[in-house]
Chain A
Amino acid sequence: AQSVTQPDIHITVSEGASLELRCNYSYGATPYLFWYVQSPGQGLQLLLKYFSGDTLVQGIKGFEAEFKRSQSSFNLRKPSVHWSDAAEYFCAVAYGQNFVFGPGTRLSVLP
């Protein structure tokens, strides 16, 4: 069965520091991969997606993610974190029109 793991439940970084959030998936075929962000009391907002082609994808708010087939990973990165990036981040894999979400990583940002 398809699954998504996000090994880090909670990450704390200082403002201006770099960030990497990990995501691993289990899926037999070529996956469609997504990162969403959720601020408190809000729905999920799409940050970026990977369908095919270049394995490094750029998203909104300065985020990027790299697909590594050999490691079944799709890690999210940002070179310099802003206080407004504090939120919950979800990785998801899609097969057809079915989406499976990871448990999320909560990001805290220190001033």
Chain B
Amino acid sequence: EAGVVQSPRYKIIEKKQPVAFWCNPISGHNTLYWYRQNLGQGPELLIRYENEEAVDDSQLPKDRFSAERLKGVDSTLKIQPAELGDSAVYLCASAGETQYFGPGTRLLVL
């Protein structure tokens, strides 16, 4: 069974530029998460989807971050414009009974 797929794995951009991350969850998993993980810390939830509906986006900085999950499968997380403090690893996870993580996208904003 394929795991959670994320791309790109690494991204380096200059501040004020836009960036997008893509996630393909495990087949059949209705719940999808986006987390941000800063260096030396645990993952922090940005947004959770149940199918195509965002059911928890309270921690998503909505002035610059946006996400979508069209058709309740793949999801995209976007940052526009990026700031220096956005440098982190962005993790996607999907869940049935248990949550499984993708490898993450490591973002560096210069």
Contacts and interface: CB of A to CB of B under 8 A. Distances in A.
A45 B100 CA distance: 7
A27 interface: no
Interface string A33-56: 010100001111110010000000
A97 B103 contact: no
- Most A C-beta atoms less than 10 A away, residue of B33, B43, B100, B101: B43
Contact of B98 (A4, A43, A46, A90): A46
- Most A C-beta atoms less than 10 A away, residue of B40, B50, B93: B40
Contact of A99 (B33, B41, B106): B33
A43 B50 contact: no
Given A104-B41, A104-B42, A46 B48 contact: no
- Most B C-beta atoms less than 10 A away, residue of A4, A102, A104: A104
Contact of B41 (A46, A94, A97, A103): A103
A43 B101 contact: yes
A42 B50 CA distance: 25
B33 A43 contact: no
Interface residues of B, number: 24
A interface bracket (residues with beta carbon within 8 Å of B): 20 to 34
Interface in B79-110: 91, 93, 95, 98-104, 106
B19 interface: no
A19 B6 CA distance: 33
A43 B4 contact: yes
A101 interface: yes
Contact of B45 (A36, A45, A99): A99
A102 B40 CA distance: 11
B98 A49 contact: yes
What are the 8 closest A-B residue pairs judged by CB atoms, nearest first? Answer: A101-B42, A43-B101, A44-B101, A43-B103, A101-B43, A43-B104, A97-B31, A103-B42
Interface of B: 4, 6, 31, 33, 40-45, 48, 50, 56, 91, 93, 95, 98-104, 106
